[in-house]
A and B are shown apart, each in its own frame.
Chain A
Amino acid sequence: MNGAKIRQHIAFSVLGVLTLLIVVPIMLVILYIVINGAGAISWEFLTAAPRNGMKAGGILPAIVGTVLLVIGTMLFSLPLGVLSAIYLVEYASDDLFTRMIKLSVVNLSGIPSIVYGLFGFTLFVLLLHLGTSILAGSLTLAIMSLPVIITASKEALESVPFSYREISLSLGATRWQTVRYCVLPYAIPGVLTGTVLSLSRAAGETAPILFTVAAFYLPRLPRSVFDQVMALPYHLYVISTQVPNIPLELSFATALVLIALVFLMNLVSIILRAHYRKKRLW
């Protein structure tokens, strides 16, 4: 072995160690939460309301709250995101306005989540009089999820071969008919993958819902979209910092449920992606 080979060996080993320094903590974090949290997970924990100042009982209202917020977020962000991606890919010409939209998407994705919280609070809670409610929280989370959905939808639309559009247009279809029947059906799996991914982020976010929807302690299920709800990430924040003497295993179990929910959504998106790759026509 000459000097260069030895140096390569050393360098690659260093890179491997750096990678291990990342991989090991990731696995430790997951294992730590699973091991400590699994013991407290029971049927009651998943299906009962919290009791005794959150020191006992379950977390059902928080689970329901998070699920409702995710659904609400999807209702607002999916149509808006897909339509604006359609605009960018199929309609926009390369002018100043289009560049402004693209720059806005980049900036929107960089805005800190707490700033979304402030914005949602002033616009939806105060100005539009929605109050701290599921509606206000979903709208805030929806705006936050937009950039990811737009980017993913854009990529999905762009991956549909250009010839599909040419053929449809040459047969006399209008622009919208082309998009509706020849582009969108092939882009939908990609759109859904991105959407589920961004929704899983929204499910885990705490800062945007702090002032727009999250309830500190509300041991009943919401009755309308104008109700406050508890939410899993905020509940974990509350029981690990705001309320003293909460049994630690309850916090671990809440963290585990939250992580499981987020992973489940990620899994759905991975399965969608795999399914989509198999059925690809080009």
Chain B
Amino acid sequence: MPRKIDESTTPSFARLRRLAADVFVSLRWLWRKTSEPVIEFCIKISGLAVVIFVFLIFLFLLRDSLSLFRHYPLRKFLFSTEWLPISEPPTFGVVPLLLGSVYVTAWAIVICVPLGVGSAMFIAEVAPKPLKHVLKSLVEILASIPSVVLGFLGIIWLGPVLRNTFGVPTGMCGLTGSLLLAFMALPTIISISEDALTGVPKTYREAAFGLGATRWQALWRIILPSASSGILAAVMLGIGRVVGETMVVLMVTGNAPVMPKSILQPLRTLTATIAGEMGETVGGSEHYFALFAVGIVLFAITFSVNFVADLFLRRARK
């Protein structure tokens, strides 16, 4: 008599395989049913992420700056003309740093706006097509040079040259920083101005030519004024770039946190102060929090500059 095999309890290879297949099929079914909501959820979270980051950056800067103002009067931070973080008692006056940033930025903008807008006009309206491509790629090359490399060149080359030219005691001064920053802001200014110039409707130009204008007259009197919103946006974005740049000013402006009187003397900007002093502070000290307060001043400046630039860009698009 053959032994009866109880099928329900004996695991066999075939049964295991059938089970595995069933598990696989049901998992696949589950994946099909749930993957889409899961992925769409991820997409929505990622959309939110940018907002969260901006909010978090602001929150952290605010939190640590407020810790400073619990012990240190806000009025003194905003109006004192001395930045003496390691004297006893320390003074954290943001004015000299703010003025340092303003000096360096103003000079950089004065230098780079005529150059940038002028060459944008050249690229957009004068240069023949092959030259246009070459010039645009050169500008892209400039945009990709890391700031620390330009700072290095400022130390070993531009600084000494300026020292000899102007007969000042040191070449590590505001002007060295301004020149390098102007150079760095050029790609932003050129590419956005060029977009603005080429974005002017062709009919404007044709109408000008039809009335007997030369190419220059059309460019100067018709196209340039029509592109003014875009060019202003370019200048604002250039200012944002210059104010926020850190390494170049840290390396070449001489690191003197004093009230600047001339662009030819050493000074220090907001960004360089944070970068230069953060490594030397003790976490949780007044000095540490003061650097965050400097950070929030910087954040507020670039935030408003970019906001205005965005407004101009929006107007330009209309």
B-binding residues in A (CB < 8 A): 4-5, 7-8, 11-12, 14-16, 18-19, 21-23, 25-27, 29-30, 32-33, 79-80, 83-84, 86-88, 91-92, 100-101, 103-119, 121-123, 126, 143, 146-147, 150, 174-177, 200-201, 203-207, 210-211, 233-234, 236-237, 240-241, 248, 251, 255, 258-259, 262-263, 266
Task: Give 22 A-B contacts (CB < 8 Å), ordered by A residue.
Answer: A4-B214, A83-B46, A83-B47, A100-B51, A101-B47, A110-B244, A110-B309, A113-B246, A114-B275, A117-B278, A118-B292, A118-B295, A119-B61, A146-B50, A175-B40, A201-B144, A204-B147, A207-B247, A240-B251, A248-B156, A255-B152, A259-B149
Is there a chain A Cβ closer than 8 Å to B148's Cβ? yes
Q: Which residue, B116, B275, B279, B303, has most C-beta atoms of chain A within 10 A?
A: B275
B200 at the interface (CB under 8 A from A): no
The 8 closest A-B pairs by CB, nearest first: A112-B244, A204-B146, A87-B47, A110-B306, A18-B118, A83-B46, A8-B216, A19-B119
B150 CB → nearest A CB, Å: 8
B115–A200 CB distance below 8 A: no
Which residues from chain B contact A259 at a C-beta distance below 8 Å? Answer: 145-146, 149
Smallest Cβ distance from A273 to chain B, in angstroms? 11
CA distance A199 to B64 in the complex (A): 30
CB proximity to A under 8 Å, residues B249-281: 251, 271, 274-275, 278-279
In the complex, B207 has a CB within 8 A of chain A: no
- Residue of A7, A201, A204 near B148 (CB, 8 A) is A204
Which residues of A are found within 8 Å of B122, using beta-carbon distances? 12, 15-16, 18-19
Question: Are B149 and A33 in contact, CB atoms less than 8 angstroms apart?
Answer: yes
Tell whether A26 pairs with B49 under 8 Å between CB atoms, given A19-B135, A210-B279, A240-B251. no
Check if A22 sits within 8 Å of B50, measured CB to CB: no
Q: How far is the CA of A61 from the CA of B292 in the complex (A)?
A: 31
- Among the stretches B11-19, B52-60, B83-91, B162-170, the one at the interface with A is B52-60
How distant is the Cα of A21 from the Cα of B116 in the complex, in angstroms?
10
The digit string for B64-84, where 1 denotes a CB below 8 A from any CB of A, is 100000000000000000000
List chain B residues, Cβ under 8 A from A146: 49-50, 53
Question: Which residue of chain B is the closest to A7 with respect to CB atoms?
Answer: B216
Contacts known (A8-B214, A206-B146, A266-B140); A19 close to B310, Cβ less than 8 A: no
Determine the chain A residues whose CB is within 8 A of the CB of B39 once the complex forms: 176
Expressed in whole angstroms, the minimum distance between the Cβ of A269 and any Cβ of chain B is 10
The answer on a CB contact under 8 Å between B56 and A119 is yes
Give the interface SS of chain B, mostly helix, strand, loop or mixed.
helix
Taking beta carbons and an 8 Å cutoff, which residues of B are in contact with A?
Answer: 36, 39-40, 42-44, 46-51, 53-54, 56-57, 60-61, 64, 114-116, 118-119, 121-123, 126-127, 135, 138-142, 144-153, 155-157, 183, 186, 190, 214-217, 220, 237, 240, 243-247, 251, 271, 274-275, 278-279, 283, 291-292, 295, 298-299, 302-303, 305-307, 309-310
Asked if residues B50 and A262 are in contact (CB atoms below 8 Å), the reply is no
Q: Are A206 and B240 in contact (CB under 8 A)?
A: no
- Whether A91 pairs with B60 at a CB distance below 8 angstroms is no
Q: Report chain B residues within 8 Å CB of A206.
A: 146-148, 246-247
Q: Which residues of B contact A88 (CB under 8 A)?
A: 47
Whether B60 lies near A101 (C-beta < 8 A) is no
Interchain CB contact under 8 A, B146 and A258: yes
* Contact in complex: B214, A262 (CB < 8 Å): no
- In the bound complex, residues from chain B placing their C-beta under 8 Å from that of A108 are 50, 53-54
Bound-state CA distance A228–B141 (Å) is 30
Q: Among B50, B140, B237, B291, which residue has its beta carbon within 8 angstroms of that of A150?
A: B50
B176 CB, min distance to chain A CBs, angstroms: 14
Given contacts A22-B115, A262-B144, contact A8 B245 (CB under 8 A): no
The answer to whether B141 touches A112 (Cβ under 8 A) is: no
* Residue in chain B with minimal CB distance to A87: B47
Whether A112 contacts B271 by the Cβ 8 Å rule is yes
Give chain B residues whose Cβ lies under 8 Å from the Cβ of A234.
148
* Pairwise interchain contact A240-B146, C-beta atoms closer than 8 A: no
Chain B, residue nearest A25 (CB): B183
With A22-B186, A86-B43 as contacts: A112 and B298 at CB distance below 8 Å: yes
